[in-house]
A and B are shown apart, each in its own frame.
Chain A
Amino acid sequence: MTVQLEQHIDPKLIPILEGVHDPEIPVLSIMDMGVVRYAQMQENIAKIKITPTYSGCPAMDVIGDDIIDAFTKVNIKAEVSLVLSPAWTTDWITSRGRKALEVYGIAAPLSEEADKEALLGNKKIVKCTQCGSIHTKLVSQFGSTACKALFQCEDCLEPFDYFKCLK
């Protein structure tokens, strides 16, 4: 199964799914990341479909295992599969997720246009997560993981990650 057009989630399963977090960004639940595309009970089995943030995201295998563990804890058998389409976009990160990112020290993704300007170094618009200054500079288009770029604040000198816009 590679396509799951509409997000289709049984509200009863949400509390369980919210207990599963991205292993690389532990403040973010998989619901807040927007990677869960489908969650329904079928013949007493929880069928869950998740979509990868990036093709090679090594967190996906761990997330799959963690989902199965979380359901096992409440005595539900779960099956997890991967869907590729529609491709994940940073727009699917919830506003609660964006706040969690900022508090954690990762600048949340800007709009597509602003992102391009920021990554080309044309405009200083990425806010430092430490002091809030916009005097920041791009250090590297690729950060600690494929989904992030590395920035540094020119006021407080703190380096920080920026979650790149993916559309």
Chain B
Amino acid sequence: MKNENKIQYIYGIADNALILGQRLSELCGHGPNLETDIAMTNMALDLLGQTRSYYQYVAQLSGDDKTEDDIAFLRSERQYKNVLLVEQPNRHFGYVITRQFFYDVFHLLLLQELQNSSDETLSAIAKKGIKEVSYHQRFSSDWIKRLGDGTEESHQKVQEAIDDLWRFTDELFHMTDDDDMALQDNIGVNTIALKERYVQMVKEVFDEATLTIPETKWFQKGGKQGVHSEHMGYLLSDLQYMQRAYPNMKW
């Protein structure tokens, strides 16, 4: 596949890590207690670290003088290919954990496949990421169980979060044209094939947590095509502020 398409394929994975990392970073100093605050910012750090590896690779592939920072900070909204799920704003802790859990389960399944990529760099990033994401998934699964099988209020709040966020999960498995090309070249992952296992893994945790997957056939999509929800603009104005206000500034 052409470098141009490969770059788009990588954005489809890396932008999720960047945007979810940004959402988690917003919680730094705002977690419900010290331990969860530290946990969420540590997960943000892992995700931003993974993002850097992907973007450094993209910078190398593009062959111009673009850097990882340009890619993170200077694209326009439509050029980000993250799914709608990860850009949804932080609300209460149960909501944040539900968003995290829905992404972690997918993320782990994705990386487990991506490690077999014929692309040496993507395979290396995935292998490294699996170790980190296994911890994330364990953390969010534990909290889903604790909140679901906790008090009446925690149960209700986390079930409401599930009912609100479930509609964003189907998009995780959609294949774009770039995804198809990457799959044909044994670089990319067949995400459609991950769905069954995904639902099963979510259900196992929900069963233990006394929570249920909502019965809906209606799902939202758009992020993978660059068509984002209204929240994305606000997120990006925060994320990009320094580079936009003071171009080329360095720490």
Chain A residues in contact with chain B, CB under 8 A? 2-3, 52, 54-58, 84-88, 119, 139-146, 150, 164, 166-167
Contact = CB atoms under 8 A, between A and B. Distances in A.
B239 interface: no
Given A55-B132, A166-B131, A167-B131, A84 B125 contact: yes
A110 to B, nearest CB: 15
Given A85-B120, A87-B124, A141-B138, A54 B38 contact: no
Ranked nearest first, the 4 interchain pairs of A and B with the lowest CB-CB distance are A56-B49, A55-B49, A85-B124, A140-B35
A146 B132 CA distance: 9
Given A84-B125, A140-B38, A142-B38, 10 more contacts: A55-B125, A56-B45, A56-B48, A56-B50, A57-B49, A87-B124, A119-B138, A144-B38, A146-B46, A150-B35
Interface in B115-147: 120-121, 123-125, 127-129, 131-132, 135, 138-139
A2 B50 contact: no
A8 B43 CA distance: 32
Contacts of B131: 87, 166-167
B49 A52 contact: yes
B39 interface: yes
A87 B128 contact: yes
17 contacts: A55-B132, A56-B47, A58-B45, A84-B53, A84-B121, A85-B127, A86-B127, A87-B128, A140-B36, A140-B38, A141-B139, A142-B42, A142-B43, A142-B135, A144-B38, A146-B42, A167-B131
